[in-house]
Amino acid sequence: MSETGEPREIRNFGPELDFVKPDNDVLIVKLFGTWKIGSQVPGFNRLTKELEKDSLIRKIRFDSSGLGRWDSILITFLLKIANYCEQKQIELTTEGLPEGVINLCKLASSVPERTAIRTSQIKLSLTTRVGIHVARIWGSIAETITFVGEIAIAFFRFLTGRARFRWSDLLLIIQESGAQALPIVSLISLLVGLILAFVGSIQLKMFGAQIYIANLVAIAMVRAMGAIMTGIIMAGRTGASFAARIGSMQVNEEIDALKTAGLPPMEFLVLPRIIALAVMMPLLTLYANLMGILGGMIVGVGGFDIGIREYLNATKGSLTLTTVGIGLFSSFIFGILVATAGCLRGMQCSRSASAVGEATTSAVVTSIVSIIIATAIITIGCNILGI
Amino acid sequence: MIGEVQKQNKDKAVFEPIIVVEDLTMAFGDNVIQRDLTFTINRGDIFIVMGGSGCGKSTLMRNLIGLQRPARGKVFYDKESFWDIEESERERILRRIGVMYQGGALWSSMTLAENIMLIIQEYQKIDHDQALELASLKLALVGLAGFEDYYPSEISGGMKKRASIARAMALDPEILFLDEPSGGLDPISARMLDDLILQLKSSMGTTVVVITHELASIFSIGNDSVFLDTESKTIIASGNPKKLLEECDNDTVRRFLTRGASEPRIQAIGRA
């Protein structure tokens, strides 16, 4: 970097300061050695002490004949001096500093510092903060309701054949959220079936009623667990991916591009996703039910000497079309909820990478909470209706 | 005095190669982007890599800074073959380099000051206050004084670009790679950036490699260049851009440097 014509010995020392007073009101700051990031820079207070000692000093000059290599650390030091001098109204002469140093200092102070306070930095009182929070919650409820309304309008346009989206998109989403989810759905629901059978069998064995394992597993899986487990898998897998996908499109201004191109994002992005999940969730749930029953059968047949035919007959006997229907209806609702939550959070995403992360988290949380609430409502509803 | 310093640097720099590229061929699979690139970047140069869109300028930068291994050929930093040495050796070389990416690539979860301080504190043992002072200086140098606590999402596109140049300068690198630094900047900011680049070169001896197709910058800061051609997939001109404008008789280069003004007459008439 910059070098002057002094002997090497002086310039290879670490950074050092010295002060000379040729006149009563003049202070010469001598700079020695290498001023580079990482070296032990002399404290700024050494200069201020020197100035406080002698309040007569009105001028500061520099002597850089002993200065060796330097980088930004020297510039920051000099800018601090300049700032201090401006406050104390001391005259500062840059003469005696290397040309490069002066130029960089000038460049750094050429654009005035922005002093306007950002809105996010203003301190607010407790009541204001509570008020803002409530207003925000209210806003987000209103936003959700608007979103649901827009989905309804888009769906109406779809039914009348006027919705604009690409069928290839829909098929791709169906493939991604349906067929490609089969392995994980198989694994989870098989294990849930196994667990239900094991837990139930311990109680049932006490009464010698092992055969009822089949009934327990079949009813629990088909009526509730199949749909709930599939819903939760879909929330983590597909809902999160919807939110991340739409969120990053928001970051890239792709959503704006769709809007200005006259393609409503509601129809183009949200509608196919909701349709895909509404269609695929019942199918996946049906499949999950079968896997769960298979899991129960493995325990029943393998561990409690129930014949396969016997087990299947008991299963068949315990299931009614209503039970299956309730499970499939729930899963249809869950599909819509998961897709809506994913798309809603994605559309609400602001423009940064961390916002995409928040959108994804929030999508999964919203999906799971709404699945559980929906299950409660459906169960209570069925109870009242007596089915 | 400025002239003197510049002259000194220039005299020192002329024959001291810092990056040497030999027979470099870049490819994605079987798709060759550029072949047989050979050129030298000297210490203290402001070296322009120019060429039409999609000719592989940014890919060349990725090959030079260790993000993508060249299909063939060598890159030397001070006579060390960059792609033939150990990973840890490569990191040592990379520490001397600052990079500004085309899209800014600021870390969005950190404020501007934190973006810069992260790099400083990773490689230097200095306390928080000093790191913050350095970060403020870098931001002031690109005209963003007072923006320390802003997040990248809170500033405009041009500001992001400047902030990411400030981050590239965090460690006072010997070599600065800038990918499209003035793209999307207003003329005054672009001019300020050119001044900054010239100032870094003259006062700190920084070597700057600029990938750009902004003609104004090319002529005002560049003292050496290569021109990558999309058609022939190699270098078709090199040297000082101002001299290229005067002397180069290659049609593509001439049209590029004159914004298409010197295209063959017949074509111009046909268009009208």
Q: Which domains does chain B show, CATH number per domain?
A: 2-96+173-240 (3.40.50.300), 107-171 (no CATH)
**Tokens read off for A274:** 């909701």
To the nearest whole percent, how much of chain A has pLDDT over 90? 53
Residue B121 confidence (pLDDT): 84
Mean pLDDT value across residues A190-196: 95
How many A-B residue pairs are in contact by the CB < 8 A criterion?
98
Confidence of residue B4 (pLDDT cuts 50, 70, 90): very low
**Facing B146 at nearest CB: one of A2, A37, A115:** A115
Strand order in the sheet with B46-51: B97-100, B175-179, B207-211, B46-51, B224-228, B235-238
**Within chain A, what is the greatest distance between any pair of CA atoms?**
111
**Facing B203 at nearest CB: one of A41, A80, A104:** A104
Contact status, residue A205 vs residue A304, Cβ threshold 8 Å:
yes
Q: Among A54-58, A103-107, A357-361, B196-200, which is the least confidently predicted range? A: A54-58
Q: Where are the alpha helices (DSSP H) in A66-211?
A: 72-88, 99-108, 126-159, 167-177, 182-206
To the nearest whole percent, how much of chain B has pLDDT over 90? 14
How big is the CA angle at A283 (ends A280 and A285), to the nearest 5 degrees? 105
pLDDT tens figures, B25-73: 998 888 888 888 999 999 888 999 998 888 888 889 988 988 888 888 9
User: What residues contact residue B15 under an 8 Å CB cut-off, 6+ apart?
Assistant: B42
How does DSSP assign A126-151, residue by residue?
HHHHHHHHHHHHHHHHHHHHHHHHHH
Residues of B with CB under 8 A from a CB of A: 1-2, 4-5, 108-109, 120, 124-126, 130, 133-134, 136-138, 140-141, 143-147, 149-154, 169, 171-172, 192, 195-196, 199, 202-205
Contact between A100 and B1 using a beta-carbon 8 Å cutoff: no
User: What residues contact residue A347 under an 8 Å CB cut-off, 6+ apart?
Assistant: A147, A246, A250, A255, A265, A270
Contact between A113 and B151 using a beta-carbon 8 Å cutoff: no
Contact between A38 and B125 using a beta-carbon 8 Å cutoff: yes
Contact status, residue B38 vs residue B21, Cβ threshold 8 Å:
yes
User: Does residue B266 carry a pLDDT above 50?
Assistant: no
Contact status, residue B83 vs residue B75, Cβ threshold 8 Å:
yes
Helix and strand numbers (H, E) in chain B are: 11, 10
Mean pLDDT value across residues A300-328: 91
Question: Beta strand B235-238 with B224-228: parallel, antiparallel or unpaired?
Answer: antiparallel
Ranges of each domain in chain A? 8-108, 164-385
Provide, for chain A, the percentages of residues in helix, strand and coil under a 3-state DSSP scheme, each rounded to the nearest 5: 70, 10, 20
Strand order in the sheet with A26-35: A16-23, A26-35, A59-70, A91-92
Residue A12 confidence (pLDDT): 66
Residue B9 confidence (pLDDT): 47
CATH of domain A8-108: 3.30.750.24
Per-range mean pLDDT, top range of A229-238, B230-239, B257-266 = A229-238
Residue A115 confidence (pLDDT): 67
Mean pLDDT value across residues A166-171: 89
Residue A174 confidence (pLDDT): 94
Mean pLDDT value across residues B217-221: 89
Residue B1 confidence (pLDDT): 40
Where do the DSSP E strands lie in chain B? 17-28, 31-42, 46-51, 72-77, 80-81, 97-100, 175-179, 207-211, 224-228, 235-238
Residue B270 confidence (pLDDT): 47
User: Does residue A4 carry a pLDDT above 80?
Assistant: no
Provide, for chain B, the percentages of residues in helix, strand and coil under a 3-state DSSP scheme, each rounded to the nearest 5: 40, 20, 35
Rounded to whole angstroms, how far apart are CA atoms A323 and A226?
12
Residue in this structure with the two tokens 């979860």, named with its chain if needed: B109
Mean pLDDT of chain B: 84
**Whether complex ipTM tops 0.85:** no
Residue A339 confidence (pLDDT): 96
Residue B27 confidence (pLDDT): 87
Confidence of residue A152 (pLDDT cuts 50, 70, 90): very high
Rounded to whole angstroms, how far apart are CA atoms B257 and B51?
10
Using an 8 Å CB-CB cutoff, list chain A residues near B109: 352-354
Contact between A79 and B203 using a beta-carbon 8 Å cutoff: no
**Tokens read off for A368:** 């799971």
Confidence of residue A91 (pLDDT cuts 50, 70, 90): confident
Confidence of residue B262 (pLDDT cuts 50, 70, 90): low
User: Does residue A124 carry a pLDDT above 90?
Assistant: no
User: Does residue B5 carry a pLDDT above 70?
Assistant: no
Residue A347 or residue A252, greater confidence:
A347
User: Does residue A10 carry a pLDDT above 60?
Assistant: no
Residue in this structure with the two tokens 């039409």, named with its chain if needed: B52
Residue in this structure with the two tokens 């060390």, named with its chain if needed: B80
Contacts 24+ apart (CB under 8 A), A130-136: none
User: Does residue A120 carry a pLDDT above 70?
Assistant: no
CA-to-CA dists, residue A257 to A202, A229, A262, A264, A340, angstroms? 60, 37, 9, 10, 22
Nearest C-alpha in B relative to A95 = B1
Q: Among A109-113, B184-188, B203-207, which is the least confidently predicted range? A: A109-113
Nearest Cα to B143, choosing from B110, B209, B97, B188? B188
Q: Among A107-111, B21-25, B139-143, which is the least confidently predicted range? A: A107-111
**Tokens read off for A95:** 């003469």
Mean pLDDT value across residues B97-111: 86
Contact status, residue A270 vs residue A151, Cβ threshold 8 Å:
yes
Contact between A71 and B152 using a beta-carbon 8 Å cutoff: no
Nearest C-alpha in B relative to A100 = B203
Neighbour-count burial for A34-50, b at 16+ CB within 10 Å, e otherwise: bbbbebebbeeeebeeb
Confidence of residue A136 (pLDDT cuts 50, 70, 90): very high
Rounded to whole angstroms, how far apart are CA atoms A229 and A206?
29
Contact between B137 and A76 using a beta-carbon 8 Å cutoff: yes
Confidence of residue A352 (pLDDT cuts 50, 70, 90): confident
Residue B29 confidence (pLDDT): 81
Q: Among A34-38, A344-348, A376-380, which is the least confidently predicted range? A: A34-38
Mean pLDDT of chain A: 88
Confidence of residue A246 (pLDDT cuts 50, 70, 90): very high
Residue in this structure with the two tokens 């300020």, named with its chain if needed: B192
